[in-house]
Structure 1
């Protein structure tokens, strides 16, 4: 049963990584990064549930997943602020428009 979760997590991570590498739209890249974090959370929780002994689960991976969720929430706030600032400055969200740091 653990293998199914890990395969799903690996596929989800691969799709997110492909989206980050291939796509140029910064919003899609941002969503793919969130997908990669979700894949990592699935792996953490799957390992946490598989590690339990005598019917008692071990909550280490689940607690780590909560920290990842908290970091992802902060990333969303900062990332969306950067995307809005980029759109206001360049009138585009295409990542190739970010060739210089200052106009």
Structure 2
């Protein structure tokens, strides 16, 4: 079970890194960053349940990363919405 979750997490992380490196669109880059953070969250929960199921350290880190992810998405989309009327594009240069 642990190996399957780690392979899934590595796959999500790889897709996120590839998309972040090759993306020219700011919205797509934000979505790829979300994939990376979700892969990290999956690892936090998996290792927390596998190694120490009585303590909730991985679950607490999961909640913090979800909060950071939500704030990052809100700030990123606010930047996109403020830049778009002037530049008429969301491309990253």
TM-score normalised by structure 1 residue count: 0.85
Structure 1 residue runs of 5 or longer lacking an equivalent are 97-103
SS at match of 1:58: coil
Q: Tell me the distance in 2 between the aligned counterparts of 1:89 and 1:44.
A: 40
Q: Structure 1 or 2: larger helix share?
A: 2
Counterpart position of 1:88: 85
Q: Is the radius of gyration larger for structure 1 or structure 2?
A: 1
Output one character per residue of 1:3-60: Cα deviation in whole Å (capped at 9) or x when no partner: 11111101100000000001111111110000100000000000000013xxx53310
Counterpart position of 1:101: none
Counterpart position of 1:73: 70
**Aligned pairs for 1:45-56 within 5 A:** 45-52=45-52, 56=53
Counterpart position of 1:29: 29
How many pairs are equivalent? Answer: 93
TM-score normalised by structure 2 residue count: 0.94
Q: Tell me the distance in 1 between the aligned counterparts of 2:30 and 2:69.
A: 11
Structure 2 residue runs of 5 or longer lacking an equivalent are none
Q: RMSD of aligned C-alpha atoms?
A: 1.0
